């Protein structure tokens, strides 16, 4: 099954929520864990127990594992391995973006099914040019994996790049923004896919207004729900026509319920209920 098909199945089974695994120092302390590899390991394993097979998407943030060096990366590899094939899909949040053979190496590292850190999908940055992402799309297609491309992010610095007009030589409409060009090219990649394509966009829940065409026939990863200020009502307002493709991501809003496993599951369930309006 393609990633688009698997994503649709997971959303129908568990709801549209994506729960992040973000073991930053403050959360480790809140859970009564040391800010060490041992604390990281206990945090991650608790998240796996709580969320695997209970939510549609789990999104480990690679940076919070990498800060512990090689031993932290080992924990990340084990976390991904423990999550995969449980019914929950792993979106590895690495936001990689490079060119040529380096981009190819990143794609192989995260999306080739035989790689130690293979995930179901990965986040990438298009700001070396959309064409620089071709290795990610090619490896994803071979492995039935997904790619989420940063388009309209929720950070306040984003608009200076994402709202800028693309140069005429780049192609597309004369008044097309950088974000609009990213969304248009994703729609072209996803054209004809059913139930939706494998190539998604990252669009923040806190962007205020969605002036671009979000109908890319692919999944929309929407961070910012919960602690960052985004609400289920914001998501319904921003994504009304494409709401069925929205994967709403929250981390601290759910993780604050830990370290009790059932409390974490209940918190994720409440998020799903809010998103579907039940």
Q: What is the tens place of the pLDDT at every residue in 32-80?
A: 999 999 999 999 999 999 999 999 999 999 999 999 999 999 999 999 9
Distance separating alpha carbons of residues 243 and 203, to the nearest angstrom: 12
Q: Is the peptide bond before 195 cis (omega within 30 degrees of 0)?
A: yes
* Residue 207 pLDDT: 83
Q: What is the mean pLDDT of residues 153-161?
A: 91
pLDDT at site 210: 75
Question: What's the pTM?
Answer: 0.96
- Residue 209: which pLDDT band, with cuts at 50, 70 and 90? confident
Task: Taking residues 20-39, report their average pLDDT.
Answer: 97
pLDDT above 70 coverage of the chain, percent: 99
Q: Is residue 278 pLDDT above 60, yes or no?
A: no
List the alpha helices (DSSP H) in the chain. Answer: 3-14, 25-30, 37-51, 62-66, 70-83, 100-111, 134-143, 159-162, 178-190, 232-238, 252-255, 261-276
pLDDT average, residue stretch 124-136: 97
110: domain range? 3-276
Rg (CA), the chain: 18
* Other Cβ atoms closer than 10 A to 240: 10
Average pLDDT over residues 245-265: 97
Residue 275, pLDDT score: 95
Q: What is the mean pLDDT of the chain?
A: 95
95, 163, 252, 270: the catalytic one is: 95
Q: Are strands 57-60 and 17-21 parallel, antiparallel or unpaired?
A: parallel
Based on the residue annotation, tell me whether 59 is a catalytic residue of this protein: no
pLDDT at 126 over 90: yes
Number of domains in the chain: 1
pLDDT band at 208; cut points 50, 70, 90? confident
d(CA 219, CA 74): 29
What per-residue confidence (pLDDT) applies to 211?
A: 84
Average confidence (pLDDT) over 218-241: 89
Distance CA 36, CA 256 (A): 19
Torsional class of 61: left (φ above 0), alpha (ψ -120 to 50), beta (otherwise): beta
Q: Classify the C-alpha dihedral 172-177-182-187 as positive or negative.
A: negative
* Mean pLDDT on 236-250: 94
What is the spatial distance between Cα 103 and Cα 20, in angstroms, rounded to a whole number? 24
Task: Supply the CATH number for residue 251's domain.
Answer: 3.20.20.70
pLDDT by residue (tens digit) across 217-227? 999 999 988 76
Rounded distance, CA 236 to CA 232, Å? Answer: 6
pLDDT of residue 219: 98
Q: Which of 45, 90, 17, 89 is nearest to 259 (CA)?
A: 45
DSSP 3-state of 59: strand
Find, among 96, 202, 94, 91, the residue nearest to 154 by Cα.
Answer: 202
Q: What's the burial of 65, exposed, middle or buried (CB within 10 Å: 0-12/13-18/19+)?
A: buried
């Amino acid at each position: 099954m393609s990633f688009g098909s698997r994503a649709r199945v997971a959303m129908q089974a568990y709801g549209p929520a994506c729960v992040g695994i973000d073991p930053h120092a403050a959360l480790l302390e809140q859970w009564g864990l040391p800010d060490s590899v041992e604390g990281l390991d206990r945090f991650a394993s608790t998240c796996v127990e709580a969320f695997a097979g209970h939510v549609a998407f789990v999104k480990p943030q690679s940076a919070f594992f990498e800060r512990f060096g090689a031993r932290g990366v080992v924990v990340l590899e084990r976390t991904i391995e423990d999550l995969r094939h449980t019914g929950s899909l792993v979106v590895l949040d690495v936001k990689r973006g490079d060119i040529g053979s380096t981009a190819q190496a990143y794609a192989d590292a995260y999306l080739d099914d035989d790689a130690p850190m293979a995930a179901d999908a990965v986040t990438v940055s298009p700001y070396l040019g959309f064409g620089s992402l071709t290795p990610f799309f090619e490896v994803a297609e071979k492995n039935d994996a997904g790619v989420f491309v940063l388009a309209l992010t929720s950070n306040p610095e984003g608009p200076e790049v994402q709202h800028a007009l693309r140069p005429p030589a780049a192609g597309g409409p004369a008044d097309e923004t950088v974000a609009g060009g990213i969304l248009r090219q994703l729609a072209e990649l996803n054209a004809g896919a059913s139930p939706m394509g494998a190539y998604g966009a990252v669009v923040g829940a806190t962007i205020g207004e969605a002036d671009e065409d979000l109908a890319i026939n692919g999944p929309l990863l929407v961070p910012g729900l919960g602690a960052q200020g985004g609400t289920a009502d914001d998501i319904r307002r921003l994504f009304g026509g494409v709401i069925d493709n929205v994967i709403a991501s929250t981390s601290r809003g759910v993780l604050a319920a830990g370290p009790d496993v059932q409390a974490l599951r209940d918190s994720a369930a409440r998020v799903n209920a809010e998103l579907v309006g039940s």
